[in-house]
Amino acid sequence: MKRKILFVCWGNICRSPAAEGIILNLLKDRGLEKQFEIDSAGILNYHLGELPDSRMRAHAIRRGYNLVHRSRQIQTEDFYHYDLILGMDDHNMNDLRDRAPSPDEWCKIHRMTEFCVNILADHVPDPYYGGATGFEYVLNVLEDACEGLLTSLTQDS
């Protein structure tokens, strides 16, 4: 049975598709891609069908991540389909709880930074209005959190 993970941020063009790309890379490197279903979504529908932000794609490609996800908005069905839904910040966490069809699905919702091992962060900041250092920092946090997430999921197996 596949474990199903959904990464969520505001518009699904920076943080969540980067997390998706990072975890897909880690899974492929470890030969675990068949054990997981990975996707990302946004709280808002401003960027439906768009590729990730060009700046995020440029920074990610330098690290070996090819971000090809097309933006989509989270749907009610996602709360039933996915085992784990990871929000990037307080706003995302509150919106996810508000959108969950019932409190029963709240146990699936977690903050991405809960899985950080080496970087002390309480959220993954939105780099959209910042410069290059913001995108690099977000990728650092997401790499750390994705490593921690994968370790926690594979230790439970």
φ/ψ of residue 156, rounded to 5: -75, -15
The verdict on whether 83 is a catalytic residue reads no
The verdict on whether 95 is a catalytic residue reads no
Query: In DSSP terms, which residues pair with 27 in a beta bridge?
Result: none
Instruction: Quote the CA–CA distance of 157 and 152 in Å, as a whole number.
Output: 9
**Residue 84, C-beta contacts closer than 8 angstroms, at least 6 positions apart:** 3, 4, 5, 6, 108, 110
The verdict on whether 55 is a catalytic residue reads no
Q: Check 14, 126, 144, 146 and give the catalytic one.
A: 126
The one-letter amino acid code at 14 reads C
Instruction: Quote the CA–CA distance of 122 and 36 in Å, as a whole number.
Output: 26
How long, in residues, is the chain? 157
Helix (H/G/I), strand (E/B), else coil: 69: coil
CB 58 within 8 A of CB 134: no
Active-site residue set: 9, 15, 126
